[in-house]
């Protein structure tokens, strides 16, 4: 697993730069709408684990209020969204600021989503393998169920992606990502079974390397 072919780096840079320019008006409108809905700040940044475990800062548009209960604890996510911010999340507009991270080489258009360092550490060796490639704006798990998957299922899908990573697969993921806002998130049992079977076979192979 791992490695970052030069073709991936070049294609990611060019595509992300073009998308960053084209999406600038959309990001501006999104920022204005969020400011009117939630006030300042319109963005938040969080430390996540990048390639090789290196900590990166991931920016996103803020889509939740700071509403809290009587004890001062934040309310569940669903209760802190508005109808508008829920739409922004569904259309993935909140992720657009991360295009700049792709241009800078800290992320890729496609790859395992960047997770909290503690979450990756909890996966142990599998977490290291998962993060042997740059994190992405979207990934195999995101088009195979995303919120309908648990952490272990997402991990299996991410590891399958890392082992089978190619430009053709990335293009397929990007194409399907564009359809998600229209069709919604659909859990793919065939993809999940294939990833789990593959991961189980790899783990059972003593000293095996994943091609």
Q: pLDDT tens digits, residue range 74-105?
A: 888 888 889 999 999 989 999 999 999 999 99
Q: Structure pTM? A: 0.87
Residue 67 has what pLDDT? 82
Burial class, 131, CB count within 10 angstroms (exposed 0-12 / middle 13-18 / buried 19+) = buried
Query: Encoding tokens for residue 193?
Result: 């079974």
The number of beta carbons lying within 10 Å of the beta carbon of residue 163 is: 17
DSSP assignment string, 24-56: HHHHHHHHHHHHHHH-S-SEEEEEEE-GGG-EE
Using DSSP, state whether 153 is helix, strand or coil. Answer: helix
- Specify the pLDDT at position 123: 95
Q: What does 109-129 look like in DSSP terms, one character per residue? A: EESSPP--HHHHHHTTHHHHH
pLDDT category at 211 given cuts 50, 70, 90 is: very low
Q: Which one has a higher pLDDT value, 174 or 7?
A: 174
First and final CA of the chain: distance in angstroms?
A: 7
Instruction: Give the pLDDT confidence score for residue 210 in this predicted structure.
Output: 45
The whole-number pLDDT of residue 6 equals: 77
- For β-strands 55-61 and 136-138, DSSP reports them as unpaired
Q: What is the pLDDT of residues 136-187, one digit of tens each?
A: 999 999 999 999 999 999 999 999 999 999 989 999 999 999 999 888 899 9
Chain segment 9-50, per-residue pLDDT in tens: 888 999 999 999 999 999 999 999 999 999 999 999 999 999
d(CA 120, CA 159): 13
What pLDDT shows up at residue 65? 86
Number of H helices, E strands in the chain: 9, 4
Quote the radius of gyration of the chain (alpha carbons, Å): 18
């Amino acid at each position: 697993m791992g490695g970052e072919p030069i073709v991936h780096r070049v294609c990611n840079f060019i595509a992300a730069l073009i998308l960053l320019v084209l999406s600038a008006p959309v990001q501006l409108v999104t920022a204005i709408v969020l400011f009117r809905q939630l006030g300042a700040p319109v963005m938040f940044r969080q430390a996540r684990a990048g390639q090789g475990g290196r900590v990166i800062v991931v920016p996103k548009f803020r889509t939740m209020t700071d509403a809290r209960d009587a004890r001062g604890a934040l309310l569940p996510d669903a209760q802190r969204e508005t109808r508008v911010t829920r739409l922004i999340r569904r259309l993935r507009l909140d992720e657009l600021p991360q295009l700049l991270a792709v241009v800078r080489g800290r992320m890729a258009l496609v790859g395992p989503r960047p997770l909290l360092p503690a979450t990756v550490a909890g996966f142990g060796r599998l977490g290291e393998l998962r993060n042997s490639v740059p994190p992405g704006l979207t990934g195999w798990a995101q088009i195979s169920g995303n919120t309908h998957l648990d952490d272990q299922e997402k991990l299996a899908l991410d590891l399958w992606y890392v082992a089978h990573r190619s430009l053709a697969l990335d293009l397929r993921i990007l194409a399907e990502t564009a359809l998600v806002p229209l069709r919604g998130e659909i859990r793919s049992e065939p993809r999940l079974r294939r990833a789990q079977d593959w991961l189980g076979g790899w783990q059972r192979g003593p000293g095996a390397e994943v091609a």
